[in-house]
């Protein structure tokens, strides 16, 4: 297993365009998280999946954001009508579901730049 994979690593887009990021978690992990990290800040929680069910969404996740995990394996995060304020690193993490002491394994992130 190669850990958590994210694609693409970098995306530059023009304001108003749609972008989609993909995350492949560690295969035996059924918990999956998306975080956003802006410059000089710590990661901020966006949304959480347990298997294919999206169980929590942050208020940071506006209507332009949608996340899916259709078969409980990989996940996608789509941003519609991108704005310059969406420029950030989008981090995916996964963990096994066996305890409250939640050890997250992070991917390398997808960096979005909106021009």
Q: How many residues does the chain have?
A: 115
1 Cβ contact partners less than 8 Å away, ≥ 6 residues apart? 26, 27
Query: What DSSP line would sit under 3-63, residue for residue?
Result: --EEE-SEEEE-TT--EEEEEE--TT--EEEEEEE-TTS--EEEEEEETTEEEEE-TTS-T
Q: What is the contact mask toward another protein in residues 4 to 43, using x (rule: CB under 8 A)?
A: x-x------------------------x-x------xxxx
Minimum CB distance to another protein, residue 115 (Å)? 19
The one among 56, 62, 83, 85 contacting another protein by CB under 8 A: 56
Query: How many angstroms separate the CA atoms of 115 and 104, rounded?
Result: 32
Q: Please say which residue, 46 or 79, places its beta carbon nearer to another protein.
A: 46
Minimum CB distance to another protein, residue 106 (Å)? 4
Task: Pick the piece of the chain touching another protein (CB under 8 A) from 11-19, 65-73, 79-87, 99-107.
Answer: 99-107
Q: Please say which residue, 18 or 41, places its beta carbon nearer to another protein.
A: 41
Residues in a beta bridge with 111: 10, 89
Residue ranges in contact with another protein by CB under 8 A: 4, 6, 31, 33, 40-45, 48, 50, 55-56, 91, 93, 100-109, 111
């Amino acid at each position: 297993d190669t850990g958590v994979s994210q694609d693409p690593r970098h995306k530059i887009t023009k304001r108003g365009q749609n972008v989609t990021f993909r995350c492949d978690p560690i295969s035996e992990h059924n918990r999956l998280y998306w975080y956003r990290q802006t410059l000089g800040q710590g990661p901020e929680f966006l949304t959480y999946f347990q298997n294919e069910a999206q169980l929590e969404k942050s208020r940071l996740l506006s209507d332009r954001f949608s996340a899916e995990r259709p078969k409980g394996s990989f996940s996608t995060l789509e941003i519609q009508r991108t704005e310059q304020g969406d420029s950030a690193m989008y981090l995916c993490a996964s963990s096994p579901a066996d305890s409250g002491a939640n050890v997250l394994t992070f991917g390398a992130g997808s960096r979005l730049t909106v021009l």
